[in-house]
Amino acid sequence: MDKVIVFFLIIVAVVGIYLGLTTGGQSLGLLGDSSPLFASASAMVETDWTESVGEFLISFDNFKNFHRAILEPNLSIKVFDMDGVFPGNLIYAATDRGLFLSRDGGLTWDHFISSNNEINSGSIVFRVIPASASGEDYFISVFKDNRGVVYRTYDYFFHLEKLMDFDDEAAYDLYRSGNYLYLAISNGQLIRFNLETKEAKVVNAFSSPVVKIYRSINGYFFLLFKSGTVARSADLEGEFKKINLPGGTLFSSPGAKRLDLDQVGNLYLLNRDGLFVSHDDGKSFVPFKHLPVQEKKLDAFAAYGRKIYVVVKNKIYTSSDGGENWKIDDLPNQFQVSSFYFAGERVILSR
């Protein structure tokens, strides 16, 4: 009798594996090693995948000087996205306390409220991306009152046109390709929205929500999942292959903390075991051996344009030649850095 029960459980497990890995021709099951093997994406909106808070050091002059800025004193704020429009000195910060705008390049910040109160301090703003080169036209992902909405604005966020909404879900990231806007939803779906016809279609689904979409100059898309897993495809609507992450042990691999692509297509990956680089679009990784310090644990890392930035123990290291030579600067007042953002020529270091 016990053997029959064991055999039945094995059959159930095999069927469960098959159903968990395939559905309608879409690749599923992209999970980090810390996640349950066949768990599905949680049907809830979470904010615990960002470390950045609303306190910054901003440098306008290659770290000769730093300006300290706080979005709102005495209030803990999670920052999901920062970028800007130059010339014009507009910088926006998408946070779990709404949208903050700076019109002087980051020196001062104001809490923004839209004309019909769609965005206020009770909103979570996950992502803002330009909709055109005008500097006034944006797509913005908002979660408020248990409802996620993706808006388009033509006038610096004051008036919002609703494109799509979701009950109890939110769009963690947005990516525009021609007439299509792709939405990475908190339930693991990737949705394609047609900006002309206003039609929406689920084009991919994953076991963990996508928190960031990257596009390489080599034509590949890379997805960073909340689980720490990374996947690659040549098409957002195609099959994504899980990338074998470097580091770890025979039985486990640490998830990615940060991904970055440089302007020649090198893929950088930071995890608990250090910094790694791939020169073949994620097929293989090697340790980044040009670091100016011996520590594996870096406080923060970024690749932007031609430069590489590393923060370790209150020092910021900058290289303009792939790590052969480094410029070293001290950070003021023991400022603990967790993330980098870039807006024009400004480098923004977030606590």
Q: How many domains are contained in the chain?
A: 1
Indicate whether 19 pLDDT > 70: no
Tokens of 264: 């020649």
* Structure confidence at residue 251 as a pLDDT band (50, 70, 90): low
Instruction: Answer whether residue 14 is part of any domain.
Output: no
DSSP for 125-153, please give it: EEEEEESSSSSS-EEEEEEETTEEEEEEE
Interatomic CA distance for residues 308 and 335, integer angstroms? 20
pLDDT tens column, 151-189: 999 988 889 999 999 999 999 999 999 999 999 999 999
Return the pLDDT at 21. Answer: 32
Return the pLDDT at 249. Answer: 63
Interatomic CA distance for residues 30 and 38, integer angstroms? 9
H helices of the chain, in order, are 2-21
Instruction: Answer whether residue 294 is part of any domain.
Output: yes
* Structure confidence at residue 26 as a pLDDT band (50, 70, 90): very low
Interatomic CA distance for residues 289 and 179, integer angstroms? 42
The 3-state DSSP class for residue 274 equals: strand
Please say whether the beta carbons of 143 and 124 come within 8 A. Answer: yes
Q: What is the mean pLDDT of residues 188-212?
A: 97
Return the pLDDT at 10. Answer: 43
pTM: 0.85
Instruction: Answer whether residue 291 is part of any domain.
Output: yes
Instruction: Answer whether residue 249 is part of any domain.
Output: yes
Indicate whether 15 pLDDT > 50: no
Indicate whether 327 pLDDT > 50: yes
- Please indicate whether residue 250 or residue 145 has the higher confidence score (pLDDT): 145
Q: What is the mean pLDDT of residues 241-269?
A: 85
Instruction: Answer whether residue 259 is part of any domain.
Output: yes
Instruction: Answer whether residue 168 is part of any domain.
Output: no
Indicate whether 241 pLDDT > 80: yes
Return the pLDDT at 167. Answer: 95
Return the pLDDT at 9. Answer: 44
Interatomic CA distance for residues 56 and 347, integer angstroms? 10
Which among 307, 335, 261, 273 is positioned nearest to 68, based on CA atoms? 335
Please say whether the beta carbons of 210 and 184 come within 8 A. Answer: yes
- Please indicate whether residue 126 or residue 134 has the higher confidence score (pLDDT): 126
Q: What is the mean pLDDT of residues 141-148?
A: 96
The 3-state DSSP class for residue 123 equals: coil
Return the pLDDT at 250. Answer: 52
Indicate whether 238 pLDDT > 90: yes
DSSP state of 217: T
List, in order, residues 6 or more apart from 34 with CB less than 8 Å away. 227, 228, 255
**What residues make up the domain containing 262?**
243-342
pLDDT tens column, 52-98: 788 999 999 999 999 999 999 888 899 999 998 776 788 999 999 99
Indicate whether 326 pLDDT > 50: yes
Return the pLDDT at 13. Answer: 44
Average pLDDT, the chain: 85
Instruction: Answer whether residue 179 is part of any domain.
Output: no
In degrees rounded to 5, what are phi and psi of residue 339?
-150, 155
Return the pLDDT at 84. Answer: 87
Return the pLDDT at 276. Answer: 94
In the chain, the percentage of residues whose pLDDT exceeds 90 is: 65
Q: What is the CATH number of the domain that holds 270?
A: 2.120.10.30
Indicate whether 22 pLDDT > 50: no
Which of 80-89, 92-101, 136-145, 304-313 is predicted with the least confidence, judged by mean pLDDT?
Answer: 80-89
Return the pLDDT at 333. Answer: 83
Please say whether the beta carbons of 301 and 276 come within 8 A. Answer: no
Instruction: Answer whether residue 273 is part of any domain.
Output: yes
Q: What is the mean pLDDT of residues 259-278?
A: 93
